[in-house]
Structure 1
Amino acid sequence: MTAILFISLFFFFLSGVPIAFSIALSSLVAFVFHGDLPPVMIIQRLYAGVDSFPLLAVPLFMLAGFLMESGGISRRVIEFAEALVGWLPGGLTAVTIVAAMFFAGISGSAAADAAAVGSIMIPAMVSRGYDPRLAGAVMASGGSLGVVIPPSIPMIIFGFLTGASVGKLFVAGIIPGLMIGISLMTLSVLISWKEGIRETIPFSWRRLVVTFWEAKWALGAPVVILGGILGGVFTATEAAAVATFYALIVGLFIHKELRWKDLPSLVIRGCLTASTILFIIATASVFSWLMAIEDIPARIASGILSITRDRTLLLLMINALLLAAGTFVETTAALILLVPVITPLLPSLNMDIIQLGVVVVVNLAIGMLTPPLGICLLVSCSIANIRLDEIIRRIGLFLMVLILNLILITYWEPLTLWLPSMMD
């Protein structure tokens, strides 16, 4: 059945069938050929795949992001970011990265991050004479932070798959997320300096204080979410509910830019977006269950260990596998298909499950910048009105910076484990 499972999966992939349906159809084919499994098991596994309290955080964080975007929060964050770093060479590129970092602390989704910030920043950069390809590349790389800086939907899914604490995964992503964001901002400033881009906006303490005060409710959202988790006040799922309520109150009664009549469309938008992810989780859970009953993860792990038991080489191989998967497979599906294969290697890696979670998520975040399935690239291309091949020419340096950060996160444990250890 193993051969049938994977051959049918690749066949449907190559035929252009959407990822969720490819996984579902290949699982169905394997069921038919197995013969001993009752068809009702498919329904049971589909239901069991999403019957999880932690997964409730997925639609809630998505809805919170949409509410904050419509409630004027993203605009206020960008105005504060411009006052903070807009005076640097190529200031708008730095503003884009900083704004993406702040919004990442709200949305939990890279695509939402790229769309919310990019819809404002890419036109602003182009109107001031920036190369549209550079503007798109900066926004795409900044958007990838949406899954590294907590709250992060891929981290929620990883916690669901492995039983790891989602709260600790969120906290573990803070330092790597800030480190990646600062390095991307530094690179964007250096590129702008080299290309002769200069900003005429002088730094003003008064403007910084005014914009900070205007954005205080927006900046308070990540503090409430992470502060509550760190303080043990609520779980990650409860934090998602708090974030949604917070966004609703701020948008309706404080900023007053969110209208009651907007709520039904925002709820529907959030449900549709979340249902796509949850449908992939449901179908992929059937596929991963079939892999488990065939003992495929253990056999793959055994095969890898037969090649080498050296920790450095094993981590290098895992990163290569995840980077390749992130390039060709949607993030949620990649998590559900690969995490059961990687986790049996943990004893040989002598690696904490929390660190592994961050490494996996950073790998898949890099995959969002590589064609053909680089969602952040596609969103940025759409906003900048450029072709995919045009933005690829400018994304290379940003990918190199991300990979260097990945190496540090993989081999230097304190980057991911120091803050979670404080929770203990």
Structure 2
Amino acid sequence: MTILMMILMLFVLMLVGVPVAVSLALSSLVFVTFNGLPPMIVLANMVNGINSFPLIAVPFFILAGNLMNSAGITSRIFAFARATVGWMHGGLGHVNVGASVIFAGMSGAAVADAGGLGNIEIKAMRDAGYDTDFAVGITAASSTIGPIIPPSLPLVIYGVMADTSIGQLFAAGLVPGLLMAISLMLMVAWFARRRNYPRDARFNLGRFGNSLLHAIMPLMTPVIIIGGIIGGLFTPTEAAIGAVAYAMFLGVVVYRTLDFKTIMRVSMDTVETTAAIMLIVAASTIFAWILTANQVALNFSQGLLAVTDNKVLLLLLITLIVLVIGCFMETIAAITILTPVLLPVAVSLGIDPVHFGIIMILNLMIGLLTPPVGMVLYVLSKVANVPFERCVTATAPFLIPLVTVLLLLTFVPEITMWLPTLLYR
């Protein structure tokens, strides 16, 4: 059985609705069996794929985000963002982006942002007279900031697969994440002028101070996580554990919004989510191992370089490949499969693995906003109670600023690498 047939089998299984992890593992198992290798190789590689200390951060970051949602902290974040930027034209659109930036420093996942803040943001915008399509579109687009600004689950997975410093990846994501926010706010301002969207309220120092007072402790979460990692006080894994402890402290002691029943429910949700992610990582590992063992990465690299040796064209080609695959494949699976294939090409072009990681993750985040996979769109379809197809058209205009930022980061690496170079090199 050839590599091409294995890849074809993978996509056929996914198209007929077989779960991504099962599709990866099954196609790998069939390849191994047909080529006379012991089936235990599949199990051994799957176990080795998740036997990694940095991956321990994944369930803790997921749990921290779930606890923040259940503790009612998202409403405090939204109120603070509203008091801070709501005075601008199209105020609630800017609030939407600002709240996502703040929440990004707590959850590190686009779907958590869309599910946690999305319900509050879309309801508030509808009540204020904003078009539902605009509310859904900006909510979907702003949720992609979550996995770029640290902490970030996709960056943890990429760091493990690429054997790259997660601390440097976190530092590299900060400026690009803020750049994404600025570009989306410019888009909101453009819509606000065209559609005459109102200001939410004039800036009031007393209101701002009151919202800051209520949100100050949740706002300390990203400070603790990012500051601790960048300052070298603890590793990303230790930071994740600290985030959970702090979220528990806020929910149980300070706000008293978490009881034993809620904590158990949140814990079970975290177990389910973590199990799904780890199964995908494990299954992707054996698939990636087969690709590497059969020199697919080397052949792919040589094939691309044979097409052209122009760095700009090769970067555009790599970007297009990741964008297309991101439209059809779940993010974690795409990272684990594409990293060993595309990273050698990037390195041969002189691209730093940290810089390439940010490019890849942003590419895949844009894939979350496009059919047929589009997980963020499915979440918002349920949250906003609108058809999936309408979510797709509503989000389309906001792809313009995101793709613009992607191209800027791709061809101006100094934007991404400035902070990691300053702190680590």
TM-score range, shorter chain: over 0.9
- After superposition, the C-alpha distances for 1:143-190 in whole angstroms (9 at most, x for unaligned) are 111111111111000000011000110110000000101211221132
Q: Is the 8 A contact 1:311 1:348 kept in 2?
A: no
Q: Distance in 1 between matches of 2:95 and 2:218?
A: 16
Q: Is the 8 A contact 1:135 1:384 kept in 2?
A: no
Task: Tell me the residue number matched to 1:26.
Answer: 27
Task: Tell me the residue number matched to 1:387.
Answer: 387
Task: Tell me the residue number matched to 1:365.
Answer: 365
- After superposition, the C-alpha distances for 1:129-156 in whole angstroms (9 at most, x for unaligned) are 2111111111000111111111111100
- After superposition, the C-alpha distances for 1:379-421 in whole angstroms (9 at most, x for unaligned) are 1121111112222223222101100000111111121111111
Q: Distance in 2 between matches of 1:261 and 1:394?
A: 38
1:3 aligns with 2:4: yes
Q: Distance in 1 between matches of 2:90 and 2:381?
A: 20
Task: Tell me the residue number matched to 1:266.
Answer: 266
Runs of 4+ in structure 1 deviating by more than 6 angstroms, as ranges, are none
Q: Is the 8 A contact 1:252 1:260 kept in 2?
A: no
Q: Which has the larger displacement, 87-96 or 233-242?
A: 87-96
1:219 aligns with 2:183: no
Task: Tell me the residue number matched to 1:44.
Answer: 44
1:132 aligns with 2:132: yes
Q: Distance in 1 between matches of 2:24 and 2:106?
A: 31
Task: Tell me the residue number matched to 2:93.
Answer: 93
- After superposition, the C-alpha distances for 1:84-143 in whole angstroms (9 at most, x for unaligned) are 111112211111111011111100110001111101111111122211111111100011
Structure 2 length as normaliser, TM-score? 0.97
- Within 5 A, what are the aligned runs for 1:48-197? 48-197=48-197
Q: Distance in 1 between matches of 2:154 and 2:183?
A: 22
Shift of 1:16: 2.0
Q: Distance in 2 between matches of 1:10 and 1:125?
A: 39
| Secondary structure of 1:146's aligned partner | coil
Shift of 1:255: 1.6
Q: Distance in 2 between matches of 1:93 and 1:360?
A: 27
| Secondary structure of 2:32's aligned partner | helix
| Secondary structure of 2:258's aligned partner | coil
Root-mean-square deviation (CA, aligned residues, Å) is: 1.1
Q: In percent, how many aligned pairs have the same letter?
A: 39
User: What are structure 1's unaligned runs of at least 5 residues?
Assistant: none
**Residues paired across the two proteins, number:** 423
Shift of 1:206: 1.0
| Secondary structure of 1:88's aligned partner | coil
The letter for the 1-side match of 2:310 is D
Q: Which has the larger displacement, 76-85 or 339-348?
A: 339-348
Q: Is the 8 A contact 1:309 1:348 kept in 2?
A: no
Q: Which has the larger displacement, 11-20 or 356-365?
A: 11-20
Q: Which has the larger displacement, 342-351 or 286-295?
A: 342-351
1:12 aligns with 2:13: yes
Task: Tell me the residue number matched to 1:306.
Answer: 306
The letter for the 1-side match of 2:257 is E
Q: Distance in 1 between matches of 2:392 and 2:183?
A: 19
Shift of 1:423: 1.8
| Secondary structure of 2:117's aligned partner | helix
Q: Distance in 2 between matches of 1:189 and 1:259?
A: 41
Q: Is the 8 A contact 2:92 2:200 kept in 1?
A: no
